Chains A and B, each alone.
Chain A
């Protein structure tokens, strides 16, 4: 045991030292663990002074291994590896013991916590002796980037990269980019027109020399890893030739089939079977929806084909699969609206004049189904009074515990639009007003002045059952006004539900395709909630916009740009270093049984017919270690997770278990004489 190990135990201020006797654990490690040359505790090891301490010790005391007992390796392993490398010690000769997330933050008793810390340090010390120096492998970064989702976040990310000269594939599942923002009329808090600020960006995307726009397309599959992903993209049959179509729109005009548009118009308006979701669509090229097209239904019509001046209609088109090679992937898949039917007492779907926020947004839009007029479901009557209900499906443990973040401002925006367009009385029933960003509070004050009426209380019910004559023919909002301390029944003509912003219904599947997961609330999980909100645990996969959590347009734009900056940095550097955690087969030991061959999901193991042994292709191996665990000849070594290392860690962790020699207890019926089958 010639290794000289340095053990460093972090206080992390009071985060660790508050629950763990750090000095005692350090003293104990120094005095009892074999190989430990030096053991120190320090207030904040991750600080530059803390790192310098380790670096200097390595040089002055000739340390050959380092154990850092601190936070999770997911947080600071890189930091301490760098500290080792700076002192000339191979960075893989470090092992961390996670004594914060796994001990101090989860344990009540100081005594028990300190004992657990000792075990974790003992495990790390035992393991680190078996570490081998490893070198990260440099991997070239393909300069192409794949952006999934063409809402404002994806658009921003694509433009930032393309403007920097880097090629982008932008994949959007709908016929046009634009996302939800394209559905809005005005945007809070400035009330600038959504189309005016969005459409220039959309056309820029459409015309950009470095952006390959793939609308009406879906991500099928992703393989590879950072620097070199391979993505399969399904280009759904459009039945319109993109090269030939000029976007004149004649086909749309002449198509005889009209159906309710559930996506862009949120069910409020109609579209044709051949359509672009809205006039400013990018690209302007329409798609035929085979589910509503008369030709696909009963082999008749083809009016569009006959009328198209450029013969762009092609009913024989098939889905195509496009394979692209990219270095990084940005997910910007956005949000879906809470299904307001899930709260039956609010009456949505049953009471005609209860609307969702998205429906109302379309109604306010000058190019929307009502031409921008705010009217009841009958399409003509202007409401004389409207009640906006906040937090529908948000801040409610039955649905979503989180705050959707945008609804207070959305409600104010709607209040303003209703007052402006109709002069109706506008109530908002809120739990708390949270207009907490730049210029938001000012907007709230403005609406107070404009005469919007605020009722503090969570709405219990929306009903059409009148109790008094003034309630006849109205919708009655039943709410406890918590400021007045009494129940109120507010009769109105129209109710608008501020449905929660939720994760896309298919986000889980999308996440799995690229190897990232979702939180309990559904959002894609970021690498770090504060310090790295756009990266994920999977290198080379980034998230931006509302798919990471509810947010407004400015934040979605900021994240799109941030993700792009990160990717651009990597591309301009040209290479990334990837961990050399791969399997290798000792051909001397391999018996050629081929058990491992089929175990690898990445087909990284080849059988060499001549030598009759198996060999791992290090480029394909991702280092899961399953083959290592399976080889009956113990011929496979998993770098940095070798059997030796793990077994040493087990021994170390159980330093206090006295492996053998304890007296047999009598209360062990399950240990009746063992009978091996």
Chain B
């Protein structure tokens, strides 16, 4: 039973300043959490191009965890507010594709919050276990895929035009 448990694959996009350091902090404190997340370090959560998320899901990830500094604490002043907007758009696109938005999460973790970040990973892994594997490529027709990309780029463009 235990051996057959579904082990979701999660791609993490962590910003360099807070959340990546939070993950480092969890390590230093030897906090144990699920090994399912594979982290990509970006300078800021603002670098998370929504197409990275779709790309990760299309390439076999069952979930994506985006982590950044708390609102107001971004190392680049306010870029995580842009991440928030993008995330809102992204969840709509996912919904349109029939993908549960629970598969893509956005969390904030300050450099001190390793324990919290580890808990967020554990929780997401449990949740993905309930959802089961995504199998994007087997489930989505190529056309939908393309349409989704078009759709998100369009929305994204609109969202970004009105910032600030």
Contact = CB atoms under 8 A, between A and B. Distances in A.
Interface of A: 72-74, 98, 100-103, 105-109, 112-113, 115-116, 119-120, 123, 512, 515, 517-520, 525, 537-538, 581, 593, 595, 598-599, 601-602, 622-626, 628-630, 632, 638, 641, 643, 646-647, 649-651, 653-654, 656-665, 667-668, 670-677
Contact of A629 (B18, B47, B111, B161): B47
B148 to A, nearest CB: 6
Interface in B44-80: 44, 46-50, 52, 55-56, 58-61, 69, 72-73, 75-79
Contacts of B11: 650, 653-654
B113 to A, nearest CB: 7
Given A98-B39, A626-B76, 17 more contacts: A101-B27, A106-B30, A107-B32, A123-B40, A512-B72, A517-B17, A599-B82, A599-B163, A602-B76, A626-B82, A628-B49, A647-B55, A649-B40, A654-B60, A668-B135, A671-B98, A675-B98
B104 interface: no
Contact of A519 (B17, B24, B35, B112): B112
B40 A628 contact: no
Contacts of B135: 662-665, 668, 671
Contacts of A672: 98
B40 A650 contact: yes
Nearest to A508: B73
A534 B52 CA distance: 37
Contacts of A107: 32, 35
B105 interface: no
B42 interface: yes
A670 B104 CA distance: 14
A108 B112 contact: no
B161 A626 contact: no
Interface string B129-163: 00111110111110010011001010011001101
A659 B35 contact: no
A674 B138 CA distance: 13
A300 B38 CA distance: 69
A601 B24 contact: no
Contacts of A638: 43, 47
A253 to B, nearest CB: 46
Nearest to A640: B43
A517 B44 contact: no
Contacts of A670: 98-100, 131
A30 B50 CA distance: 33
5 interchain residue pairs of minimum CB distance: A657-B60, A101-B27, A625-B47, A626-B46, A660-B137
Contact of A676 (B49, B151, B157): B151
A73 B164 contact: no
A27 B54 CA distance: 32
A106 B47 contact: no
Contact of B46 (A517, A520, A624, A656): A624
Contacts of B32: 106-108
Contacts of B160: 595, 599, 630
B82 A525 contact: no
A676 B148 contact: yes
Given A123-B38, A670-B131, A641 B47 contact: yes
Contacts of A101: 23-24, 26-28
B43 A671 contact: no
B111 A537 contact: yes
A12 B69 CA distance: 30
A513 B137 CA distance: 46
Nearest to A123: B38
Contact of A646 (B38, B52, B148, B157): B52
A111 B66 CA distance: 26
A537 B112 CA distance: 13
A120 B12 CA distance: 12
B30 A105 contact: yes
Given A662-B137, A663-B138, A665-B135, A630 B156 contact: yes
Contacts of B9: 654, 656-657
A539 B35 CA distance: 32
A676 B26 contact: no
A638 to B, nearest CB: 7
Contacts of A537: 17, 21, 111
Nearest to A116: B35
B96 interface: yes
A116 B38 CA distance: 7
Contact of A632 (B28, B157, B163): B157
B92 to A, nearest CB: 8
B31 interface: yes
Nearest to A598: B164
B59 A525 contact: no
A538 B75 CA distance: 9
Contact of A625 (B43, B59, B111, B163): B43
Contact of A674 (B98, B113, B132): B98
B118 interface: yes
Contacts of B28: 101, 105
Contacts of A602: 76-77
Contacts of A519: 111-112
B88 interface: no
A595 B139 contact: no
